[in-house]
Amino acid sequence: MDIVLTLVVNPSQGPSLEKAVVGLHEHVGRGKLEVATLSAERAVDLHFTANSVPEVKTGIANALEQTPEIDWCLQEKTPTRRKSMLIADMDSTMITVECVDELADFVGAKKQVSEITEAAMRGDLNFESALRERVALLKGMAVDDLEECYRDRVKIMPGAQTLVRTMVENGGFTALVSGGFTFFTERVSKQIGFQANRANILETEADKLTGTVVEPICGAAAKLEALDEYCTQLSIESNAVLAVGDGANDIPMIQAAGLGVAYHAKPKTAAAAHAAVRNGDLTTLLFYQGYREAEFSAS
């Protein structure tokens, strides 16, 4: 079986990349490892053969323990390595904040809401119940405050636009699927360049939030359903899908995708994913698909 191991590091830590490659030559066997540069001093593909990915994964992980600053992805080399679909979480994945936490700051409840959010993202609380509890604390908030929150607090995650636009330019379909709110996904998806988005709808009355969301809630099951629906509509196999997220509610879609990536994620999510990004930005996901930096779209 043809295997590819992708290593990605911050350019300022180029020596770490060289050190890791030398160590892997020793682990796999010199002469058995073919090196292909994706970005000078930043990313490489290492090609070799093995019986299976699981057979070599533990050994690779152990060999890379000395260079924790490196992000890596180990996978079988297949024709679907470059994915036909990207399905992504929004909060703390495509943007740098959790929108519900920032909204709660407007009503003096940020600490309380942030603690619930953190527990839900770790998987310690039922996501749907936790969302209802948090939204209830927003009751009476002016709708105009949502626009102020988006304008002043929502920042796009580094690499997001390059990731999405590169995949779109190469024929991919991109969807933003969030356990957050459509008010934000509609704006963020347009800003980044996603072709579709879905999330929860905040209910309003007289230009104020009622403290409720429209049922059913877009949680873990709904994210998986979205992946399946888009695959059916576009005749895309799940092994041609890249899914990325950071929370426990992203696990089902991450596991269902051909390449599921945990992005600066909670431990439970990282453990469930095929690969993780712990150090770099979202362009790391392009390297994981075998794109060279010269092929990246201008953001």
Tokens of 134: 């948090």
- CA angle centred on 290, ends 22 and 24, rounded to 5°: 15
Indicate the pairing of strand 43-49 with strand 34-39: antiparallel
| Contact criterion met (CB below 8 Å) for 289 and 164 | no
| 91 is annotated as an active-site residue | yes
Q: Which residues sit opposite 263 in a β-bridge? A: 277
Ranges of H-type helices in the chain: 14-28, 53-63, 99-105, 110-122, 127-136, 144-153, 160-169, 182-192, 220-234, 251-256, 267-272, 284-288
- Please give the backbone phi and psi of residue 60, each rounded to the nearest 5 degrees, phi first: -65, -45
Q: Which DSSP symbol is given to 294?
A: G
Active-site annotation holder among 89, 101, 250, 281? 89
144 is catalytic: no
Query: What letter represents residue 53's amino acid?
Result: V
User: Bridge partners of 277?
Assistant: 263
Which of 91, 101, 246, 250 is labelled catalytic?
A: 91
117-126: long-range pairs with CB below 8 Å, 24+: 120/247, 120/248, 120/249, 121/92, 121/246, 121/247, 121/248, 121/249, 121/266, 121/269, 122/247, 122/248, 122/266, 122/267, 122/268, 123/247, 123/248, 123/251, 123/266, 123/268, 123/269
Identify the residue whose tokens are 């996901």: 285
Residues with catalytic annotation? 89, 91
